[in-house]
Amino acid sequence: MVILARGANYSHHYAAMATSFCPALPQHFKPTPISRFPQVSFSFKVFSSQTSADENPTRLGFLGLGIMGSPMAQNLIKAGCDVTVWNRTKSKCEPLIDLGAKYKQTPGEVAASCDVTFSMLADPESAMVVACGEHGAASGMSPGKGYVDISTVDGPTSKLINGQIKETGALFLEAPVSGSKKPAEDGQLIFLTAGDKSLYDKVSPYLDIMGKSRFYLGDVGNGAAMKLVVNMIMGSMMTSFAEGLLLGEKVGLDPTVIVEVISQGAISAPMFSMKGPSMVQSKYPTAFPLKHQQKDMRLALGLAESVSQPTPIAAAANELYKVAKSHGLSDHDFSAVIEALKVKLKD
Ligand SMILES: NC(=O)C1=CN([C@@H]2O[C@H](COP(=O)(O)OP(=O)(O)OC[C@H]3O[C@@H](n4cnc5c(N)ncnc54)[C@H](OP(=O)(O)O)[C@@H]3O)[C@@H](O)[C@H]2O)C=CC1
Ligand SMILES: O=CCCC(=O)O
């Protein structure tokens, strides 16, 4: 069911109205902006397992069950979707199988048994091998099927995967996400999609289960570019925040007060408020692994290089992430980049 309503100011009113129409269906209900026209309209989407439980429900595959993929697949299962999973490390499939997912031995077998297959892999290399390698998803693709790659990769990788999928007659959509572990758990991700519009239309109900909004950006490569631009800014912001916390502390300021002051002013950001308190305690519980942030800085710098755009701030930030990696912080949250600034230089 989709309830359409115009105007951003009345979202909670319309949300209450929709819930009163459908009291049995509130579990996956949330007001969602129609992101292609963010300035003019909102839609409210109610996904119900009943609506998908028709004669031939769409069979969904999910490849890659890491920090992000696991809760995303879990939300699809909990919404009543028919989901088949695969992960390189099979043990990560088990909690989802317990929730009702099916399991196949290879990405190709998942794709062969599903109508649409989602993938959420670490980086360009793993996205390529899972899509196009031996027993990869492409080996199970054929006309009528679709492949949706949610991994954060660069445009050239996404275009290569698109080409291989298209050769099978299937459709392709790149759909990287903004939002981290908690938004993935809460179904509040922001999808940045590009590619086959008909596949975008087909999978929109599923994107709405996993996310709060979705953007359709046209040709393959635009979704990857949008994601890299956003993460490049985020990565630079984090290093600047880390510098400020350490400088403030060194001149005698209480870093918890710095976090509070920032939260009330013009540079307030959810990221600072969420990560700041644990950073001042030198704790970095992983939501977004530092190794992935450094990968995104590297890919964003490659994108900048491809169009001769100067990005000196991002280049400097990237060096700090590389230093943090060399200190064994790859699997910590990316906020651990602050540790790279604590390293004492030799005399
Ligand atoms: N965490 C976050 O906050 C966000 C992450 N992203 C992006 O989403 C993607 C996934 O992130 P996240 O879930 O955090 O990452 P994780 O490191 O938790 O998971 C990575 C996944 O990729 C799989 N993988 C890695 N290498 C290979 C390989 N060679 N062959 C097959 N599978 C492989 C892993 O399998 P295995 O379990 O066997 O290791 C795992 O399923 C990344 O591109 C990341 O940049 C995007 C938004 C937010
Ligand atoms: O790619 C990771 C993004 C993390 C976030 O948007 O909070």
Render each residue's pLDDT in the chain as its tens digit; 347 residues.
344 333 333 333 334 334 333 333 334 444 444 444 333 223 334 444 434 445 678 999 999 999 999 999 999 999 999 999 999 999 999 999 999 999 999 999 999 999 999 999 999 999 999 999 999 999 999 999 999 999 999 999 999 999 999 999 999 999 999 999 999 999 999 999 999 999 999 999 999 999 999 999 999 999 999 999 999 999 999 999 999 999 999 999 999 999 999 999 999 999 999 999 999 999 999 999 999 999 999 999 999 999 999 999 999 999 999 999 999 999 999 999 999 999 665 55
Distance CA 119, CA 218 (A): 20
Distance CA 218, CA 230 (A): 17
Report strand pairing: 30-33 vs 41-45. antiparallel
Catalytic residue among 45, 104, 227, 295: 227
Ligand 1, CB cutoff 6 Å, lining residues: 64-69, 87-89, 92, 120-123, 126, 129-130, 151-152, 177, 180-181, 287-289, 292
Q: What is the pLDDT of residue 343?
A: 67
Distance CA 294, CA 315 (A): 11
DSSP state of 332: S
Q: What is the pLDDT of residue 45?
A: 42
- In three-state secondary structure terms, 177 is strand
CA distances to 32, 102, 318 from 271, in Å: 22, 36, 18
CA distances to 176, 323, 332, 340 from 291, in Å: 17, 11, 8, 14
Q: What is the pLDDT of residue 57?
A: 86
Six-digit token pair at 298?
Answer: 């590297």
In this structure, the number of other CB atoms found within 10 A of the CB of residue 16 comes to 10
Q: What is the pLDDT of residue 71?
A: 98
Distance 100 CA to ligand 1 centre (A): 22
Q: What is the pLDDT of residue 52?
A: 43
Distance CA 58, CA 115 (A): 6
Cβ of residue 334 lying under 6 Å from some atom of ligand 2: no
Q: Please, what is the angle between helix 255-264 and helix 222-250, to 10°?
A: 130
In this structure, the number of other CB atoms found within 10 A of the CB of residue 54 comes to 8
Q: What is the pLDDT of residue 168?
A: 98
Q: What is the pLDDT of residue 56?
A: 77
Distance CA 57, CA 80 (A): 10
Task: Verify whether residue 322 is a known catalytic residue.
Answer: no
- In three-state secondary structure terms, 49 is helix
Q: In this prediction, does ipTM exceed 0.90? A: yes
Q: What is the pLDDT of residue 175?
A: 99
To test ligand 1's pocket by mutation, which of 67, 296, 332 has the most ligand atoms within 8 angstroms of CB? 67
Distance CA 47, CA 305 (A): 42
CA distances to 32, 85, 225, 268 from 231, in Å: 23, 28, 10, 17
